[in-house]
Structure formats: C-alpha cells, structure tokens
Structure 1
Amino acid sequence: MSKENSQSLNKGSFLWRFSKKFQFAAENVIPDPLVFCLILTIIVFFAGAIFTDTGVIGMLNSWFNGIWSQIAFAFQMSFMVVTCSVTAKSKQVKKLLRSMARLVSTPTAAIILLMVFGYVSSFLNWAFGTIVTPILAMELTKNIKRLHFPMLVAAGYSTMCLGQCLGPSASVYALLAGSDHFLVDKIGVLTQNITTYNSMNVIIWFIVALGTIILTIKAEPPVNEIVEFDGTNTDDLEIEEIEKSSSIKTFADKMNGSRIIMYLIGIAGVINIVYTIIQKGFLGSLSLNFVIFIFLTANFILYATPEKFVKSYRDNLSLATDVMIQFPFYGGISGMMIDSGLGQIIVGGFTSIATAHTLPVFSYLSASLLNLFIPSQGGQFIVQGEIITDAALKLNANLPHVINAFVYGDEATNLLQPLYVIPALSVVGMKLKDVWGYMAFIWLFWFIATILGLLIVPLFV
C-alpha cells in the first residue's frame, strides 16, 4: 500500500477532514432543539424591546398572541409528520426500499441512489421525504459496508430541503399561483412555470443538487471513523404479531380486524383525490391539507385493518413531539418580529443596499437569517414577501428570481435550524449532534454555490 493511500485510510479525504471542523459546534455549542428555540425567543424579545418602540409589555403581548396563532398550524404539521411516517414505515414501502437497496453494491452508488431518491420523494411531500430517506439509508448500510450513516442521514435530509426549491408543493410557489394571495394587487398571479420552473431556478437547482451528491461522495471518512447503522427495526415483527395473535371471536373483534371498513374509506378517499385533481388540476390541488389527505388515504389501504392502522399511528406519534411543542414558540417569535417591526428592519436593511442585479442575493441572505427565527416558509413570507416585492418593483429587478432566492435562503438554513430534522433522527434513534456538523458542512457549500449562481446565471438566461 502506498504512503498516500495509507494516509487516506488514516485521515480520510480532505473534504471529510474539513467537514469534521463543524462537529465542534455540533458537540459543544448547538443545544437541543427546544433550548435553541427558547434562546431565539429570548434574543428576539430583548432585540425588539431595545431596538423598536414596542416596549417590554408590547413584546410580551405579541409573544403570547403569536403562540396561540400557530396552534392549528402546529397540529397540521404534526399530523402530516405522523401520517407520512406511517406511510414510509408500512410493510409495503419498506419492502420496496429493501429491494431498491439491493440494486447497488458500492458506497458511491448507494449515495447516488439515496440522494436521487430523496430529491424525487421530496417533490411529493417534504415530510414523506424526510422520513423515508433515513429508512432507505438504514437498508443501504445493512447491505453495503463503509457507509458512514450520520453523513447519509444528513445528506438525505438535505435532499428534502433542496427538493422544495424545485418542487410544486413549496409554500410560496403554491401561494403565489393562487388568485387570492396577499400581494395579488401588486404582482397578480404568478403561475409555477414563472416562479418554480424558470430557467435560472432550474439551472441553479441542478448545479446545487449535483454538487451536493459529489460533495457527499468525496467526503469519504477513514475506515476507523466510519459509523454504520447497527440498530434493528421491529415494526414489521410487531405487525406480524398482531396478525398471528389476534383471535377474532366477538363482533367487536371482527370490526377491529375488518378489511372491508378500511378499503371502503380508502376507496372513498381515492375518489375524492381524483375528483379534486380533475376539478383543480394537479398543481392547483396541492394544498397542505390535500397532500396530508393523500397519505392518510394511502394508510387506510396499506394497513388494511383498524387495529394495525391505529397501532401504527400510536407508535409514530412521538415523531411529532418536537414539532408540536416548538411550533407555538416559533409562532411567538414570529408574532414578536411582525408586531415590533423587527423582521421588517432586518429585511429592509438588506434590500436597502441592493441593486436590480444583486437584489436576489440580498433576498437570499435576509431569508437565510430570518428562517432561523421563523422556520415556516409561509409565515416567513408574510414578514418578508411585501418588502422584497416592493424592492423588486422599485429597482425593476426580476421578481421571479428574487422569489427563487427567498426560497433557497429559507430552505438552506433548515440545515442549521434543527426543527425539521428531528422526526428523521427519531426514526433512526440518533441525536442532533450526530448529524448537525455534516448538515452545516453541506450548508456552507450551498451558501457559496447559490450566491454565485444568483449572480452569474441570470447573465446568461
């Protein structure tokens, strides 16, 4: 073995060694997600009280009102996480993932498969993509050696974030395509061929997506630092036990094990889905509730009996714990930032120094910063949308590019903001500190690549 190869085995690739620099922050600086949320609450409270005219009592009132403004949305998001997780962990989906994992036999091929699959699944729904990619990562590491599982989980999660930048279900793209959004009097209806699928957005997306795959492949750890998945998953066994142990004798037992009830509800759901798509079109149908309903309907068919259906939801409810607890607090942060004008100050500070050419970059930077405090694309756009739109109209900038930049900024810092990765970590029994360093490493690449793309690509399209 050559000296160069020996050093590679002992130290890993250059990109691997660089990625490890972020692990110090992950292990020693970044707290648990709830603590992170509460610290941000305190920072925004004092910033609003000091730098605006709102005052202490005003900030407290805004915080209180903001908490309760997000209760319905918190349940909606939590229900989506649980429902998509139930789908992703069904026997049928797991069997499909196991079959897919057997299609590849090398670490490089495994990474490509995982990330391409992650991009495609994220187009369907971000919550489904978040849950299903770590499950596929588990299956891959069972079959292929020398796969660093924490890096796979981080890379798989990144596909969910980036997928929203080109997916039809992204909140802002779906919002602006409607006829009743709050900026319609200024900019009219912006269909998704204008916002989501314009040339600049497509080009930047493919550059960043391909670059992230290459980055993950090249960040090769030394053999002695590889962490493989060694857990076991008993979900299928538990469901099989239900099937074997259930002794159906009474009328109630027959109802609990009835396939007819489940299939009737499932068929009704399918009819409703088809009818809605015929009436509104596929893209026009993709509201958050409609997407949740698609997965809920699938679960009636996948789990076949009420007993297995309820058990699966009960087993997956814990995945929504952090979302359910933290979303109201982020609602409180959002309330303080909106009512005090602090969010407008932050965004306005960026856009005030922009030109028509650089406005997308400043839209990206301001969205990246604001997303740390308001990790909801729709909620963040309420704060930022009118400001960047007015700036684009005033400077005669390309508005779709400015909106694209906002979405990239919002999604990029989801790699730093820990809220949405928690369900994925719960599925595989990992902690935030195990993957945050790799997520931050990917974020840095995105930061550089996206800013360069926003500055250079519009010159040629």
Structure 2
Amino acid sequence: MKNREGFLARAALRSAAWSERWFPDAWIFAALGVLIVAIAVLSFGATPQATVGAFGDGFWSLIPFTMQMAFVVIGGYVVATAPIVARFIDVLARVPRSGRSAICYVGLISMLASLLSWGFSLVFGGLLVRALARRDELHMDYRAAGAAAYLGLGAVWAMGLSSSAAQLQANPASMPPGLLKITGVLPFSQTIFLWQSIVLTAALILVSLLICWLTAPSKDHARTAQDFGVVESSTPALPPRSRPGEWLEYSPLLSILISLLGLGWLAYEFASKPVVVAIANLNTYNFLFLTLGVLLHWRPRSFLNAVSRAVPSTAGVLIQFPLYGGIAQLLTHAPGSGGETLAHRLSDLFVHVASTDTFTLVMGAYSAILGFFVPSGGGKWLVEAPYVMQAANDLHVHLGWAVQVYNAAEALPNLINPFWMLPLLGVLGLKARDVVGFTFIQLLVHLPLVLGMLWLLGETLQYIPPVMP
C-alpha cells in the first residue's frame, strides 16, 4: 500500500507540473467556449444576426451575479484578515498535539468554514496552516497541511451557503430569463438543505479526514515550512497616520456607525423573514460579511487595506463571467432551424443518453469532466443549467437534486486543478505541484464515493414541477 501511494503521489506531481506548463489561463477556456457555442449555434441554422445579437445581449446580463461572486471573495478575505480573527487563529493553532492531528484539524476547519464561505475558507485555512507551522515541535508536513486547507474548495464548498449554483437558483433576480423559465425558483430547502444533501456532505467530510490521517507523512519524512523557504509572515501592520486629513480613516467612529446601521438592517431582515429565506439572498449574505469586516477591522484604513489586498483575487470572476453570460444567451436565445435553440437540442441529446435512473451518474460524470476545462462554479452552471435542467424536467428528476449533483460533482476537479488553489497558495508560499500529490489521492477516493452516493440518494427523491416566482 505504501508503494502504491508513493506512485500515485508522484503521478499527481507530474500531472500538476505538466498542467502548470501547458494549460493556458482560464479566460482562454471561456473565450474558446464562446466560439465553440457560437459555431454550434450557426451550424444548427441560427442567423449571424441572431448569433451576434444573443452574445451581445448576454454579455452584460450577469453583472449583478458577477459582483455578488466577487464580493464573496472580498468579504471572506476581509473577515479572515481582521486583527481579532488573526489572534483567534493563533489560539486555534494551540490545539493539535502532533503533526498528523494538525493536518486533520486544518482539514476539518477548512471544510466547515467553506460551508459558510469558500472565500473565507481559503484564506482562513491558509493562515491557520501558517500559524501551525510556527510550532516546530509538531513536525507537521507543510504540503499535507496545505492540501488539507484546500479541502473546503475541493470537497464540500458547493454543498454549503456559498454554492453559486444553489444561490443562483434561489435568487430569480440573478437568473438569466431563459433559465428561470426552465427551473423556476429552487429555495435552499430543495437543494443544500435536503436531508440527502446533508448526509452526502457529512460523508465527504468524514472520508476526507480519514484520508488526511492515512496520508500524513510521519515526523521523519515530513517537510516543514522552513524546508520550502517559507518564513513567518503576517498581515501588514497599519502604518501610522501621516497627515491630519487621515483622522477619520484611523478613527473607529465611522466603522462603528456604519456597522450599527448594517447590523440593524440584518436584524430586521432576519426577524421579518425565515432564516432560510433571508440567508438565501446572496446580497444579504455578502452584506453580512462586509458589515462584520468593517466592524472587526475597527479602523476604516485597516478595512480598506484588506479590501485592496483582496481585489486581485476577483480578477478571474470579473473578466470571465461576461463571457459566460454571452454563452448562456447563445444557448437559450439564438433560435436555429425550426425555432429550436441549442439548449433545447442539447437537452434532447441528454434525454437520449440518460434515463431517469442514470441521470445522476451521467450528469455527475459530465459535470466533473467539464470542470477540468471550465474551472468556475457559477460560470459553469450558467453554461450547463439550461439544457441539463431541461433534461431533468423531461426525465422527471428532482430539480433541486440535479443542482446538488452538479454541486458535488463540479468540486471534484478542483482537487487537482490549480485555478482555485491560487489564493491559498499565495498565502502559503507554495506551488500547486507541492500539494496536488495529496489532493490527488483525495480525488481517487472521492470520485466513486460521490457518484455512488448521488445515485443512491437520488433514488429517494420524487420529481416536483418548477415553481415560478
């Protein structure tokens, strides 16, 4: 068994090194997707005018959702780097008593945090690893701990509150009109809060922790942060005030007043609506994190500095989502011969390939494969949803579970795709090839587990027709 694990780890490292050298930027994949869909639309009889019109009309159609997803990243980073949270991380780092338990500890906290916010999970998990690495007596393997910090993104994030697919389906104002007509509104009670979803999430957490324990290198073979040339670092200290005009930037007065307004609105929102309905609104979700960020940073200058450090991580979302909006519009609003859109034709093909009994397996495998080439949870859902959900309707598959099939399956390629690793790797000072050997072993176990449980649990659900707002 030991030799086999060593072989798999070496194979994963070679795969990561190859992808880092040859894979282009994720925007290139999105741009190629636009061209492929446009060519397909034209080949099925759409006019050039209808094709370019659909692309242009869809390009800016997702601006609200784009900004919402960008603020998921910003809000998570701002809260995780607040001074009081940083001190809390130091306290958490005192708990483990060995390197192996520290790795499992990081994995558990990362996965639980990702159910609230994947952006927060990445930064918080990375900072926790850095704090644990300062404890020389643990002899913790820095690579394995970094891989454990990534399990939030690689295992369960899409099963939680920051699931872009579940959030999109629960918010009709953020949905493309064509998708809304197919699925209607799917509240969280029909997606992430299904008991089947909770069982799957719990199983993934437990299995992931078991793999962390079994693959953690012993003290004699552990490579520490010092072995990678990583020195202790912390959030840059707030520079002293240099001119009188900066008084309000360094005073907590504005932070307190703004936070009181924000917390007051949140209290009213949660008091006037069911908790599930209130938190399902992505604007409310982001508002909560930003309000906490302002309050926890205390001084406006500290908050603004944190936002400035977070913004570069949103570049991929900002520049890719307009292309995904164009793809979604091409799929659903560029009629070809017979007046049928490409989304309609793809749904027909999906129905022919899948059956009611095999839908979850076919969709899960398909979503996982596509995730290697389109590493964007929300963007990929916008590409897939129109025809996948139409097929679910035609086959009478539970629509909320179809969303969860996507959520569980699309996280699988994250385990070895470097795209989503970048914010965490920036915190850790590592490269993808340093951690992917451990995440690759997770993938080998997760793949059959996820597909099997998706099929088994899906058998317990009955089809519910779409509910329009």
TM-score by length of 1: 0.81
Q: 2-side partners of 1:184 and 1:330: how far apart?
A: 16
8 Å contact kept, 1:356–1:397: yes
Map of 1:259 onto structure 2:
252
- Given that residues 34 and 326 in structure 2 are in contact (C-alpha distance below 8 angstroms), is that contact kept between their aligned partners in structure 1? no
Q: Distance in 1 between matches of 2:24 and 2:64?
A: 20
SS at 2:423's partner residue? helix
The equivalences for 1:249-398 within 5 A come to 250=244, 252-286=245-279, 287-331=281-325, 349-372=349-372, 374-398=374-398
| Identity percentage of aligned residues | 21
Q: Taking structure 1 as reference, are residues 135 and 338 closer, same or farther at Cα in structure 2, changes over 3 Å only?
A: farther
1:56: how far off?
8.7
**1:220 paired to 2:216:** yes
Supply the AA of the counterpart residue of 2:193: Y
Q: How far has the Cα of 1:312 moved from its partner? A: 2.7
Aligned residue in 1 for 2:464: none
Deviation for aligned residue 1:321 = 3.7
Aligned CA distance change for structure 1 residues 42 and 196 (closer, same or farther; 3 Å): closer
Which segment is superposed worse, 304-313 or 37-46?
37-46
Partner residue of 2:337?
none
Name 2:414's counterpart in structure 1. 414
**Equivalent pairs, count:** 445
2:268 alignment partner AA: Y
Query: Is structure 2 residue 188 aligned with structure 1 residue 195?
Result: no
1:111 matches 2:106:
no
1:449, distance to aligned residue in structure 2 (A): 0.8
Equivalences for residues 103-142 of structure 1 within 5 A: 103-142=95-134
Residue 81, structure 1, aligned to residue 73, structure 2 = yes
Query: Does the aligned pair in 1 maintain the 2:347–2:390 contact within 8 Å?
Result: no
RMSD: 3.6
Unaligned residue ranges in structure 1 (runs of 5+): 1-7
Contact residue 368 and residue 409 of structure 2 kept, 8 A = yes
Report the more deviating stretch, 383-392 or 81-90.
Answer: 383-392
| Structure 2 residue identity aligned to 1:266 | S
Distance 2:125 2:382 in 1: 31
Superposition deviation, residue 196 in structure 1: 2.3
Q: Deviations over 1:70-94 (max 9, x none)?
A: 5554444334323321211122111
Counterpart mapping for 1:41-120 below 5 A:
41-42=31-32, 45-46=35-36, 49=39, 52-53=43-44, 68-70=60-62, 73-120=65-112
**Aligned equivalent of 2:15:** 25
Matched, 1:155 2:176: no
* Pair 1:219–1:126, CA change in 2 (3 A): same
Residues 106-161 of structure 1, C-alpha deviations (whole Å, 9 max, x = no match):
12321232122122211221211122111112222222544332333333222235
Compared with structure 1, are the counterparts of its residues 347 and 137 closer, same or farther at alpha carbon in structure 2 (3 Å cutoff)? Answer: farther
Q: Is the 8 A contact 1:172 1:407 kept in 2?
A: yes
Q: Which has the higher mean CA deviation after the structures are superposed, 108-117 or 396-405?
A: 396-405
Amino acid corresponding to residue 413 of structure 1 in structure 2: P
Residue identity opposite 1:88 in structure 2: A
Match of 1:246 in 2: 241
Judge which range, 45-54 or 97-106, deviates more. 45-54
**Partner-residue secondary structure (3-state), 2:356:** coil
The structural deviation recorded for 1:169 is 4.1
CA 1:76–1:442: 2 relative to 1, 3 Å: same
Shift of 1:26: 0.7
Instruction: Supply the AA of the counterpart residue of 1:420.
Output: W
Contact 2:158 2:164 in 1 (8 A): no
Equivalent AA in structure 2 for residue 215 of structure 1: I
Q: Distance in 1 between matches of 2:51 and 2:86?
A: 48
Q: Secondary structure at the match of 1:29?
A: helix
Residue 15 of structure 1 corresponds to 5
Change (3 A) 1:28 1:222: farther
Tell me what 2:465 maps to: none
The aligned amino acid for 1:264 is L
CA positional deviation for 1:374: 4.9
User: Distance between the aligned counterparts of 1:377 and 1:316, measured in 2?
Assistant: 19
Contact 1:41 1:333 in 2 (8 A): no
| Alignment of structure 1 residues 409-448 onto 2, 5 Å | 409-448=409-448
Deviation at 1:271, TM superposition (A): 0.8
CA gap of 1:323–1:199, structure 2 versus 1, over 3 A, is: closer
TM-score normalised by L of structure 2:
0.80
Q: Give yes or no for contact 1:343–1:383 (8 Å, CA) kept in 2.
A: no
| Residue in structure 1 matched with residue 338 of structure 2 by the alignment | none
Q: What's the CA shift for 1:18?
A: 1.5
**Any conservation in 1 of the 2:115–2:158 contact (CA below 8 Å)?**
no
Higher mean Cα deviation, 57-66 or 296-305? Answer: 57-66
Q: Which whole-Å CA distance do the structure 1 matches of 2:437 and 2:414 have between them?
A: 13
Q: CA deviation at 1:423?
A: 1.9
**Contact 1:351–1:388 (8 Å) recurs in 2:** no
Matched residues in 2 for 1:371 and 1:191: separation? 24
Relative to structure 1, the CA distance from residue 213 to residue 339 in structure 2 (aligned partners, 3 Å threshold; closer, same or farther) is farther
User: What letter corresponds to residue 434 of structure 1 in structure 2?
Assistant: D
On the 8 A contact 2:76/2:118 being kept in 1, the answer is no
Give the structure 2 partner of residue 3 of structure 1.
none
Do the aligned partners of 2:110 and 2:121 also contact (CA within 8 Å) in 1? yes
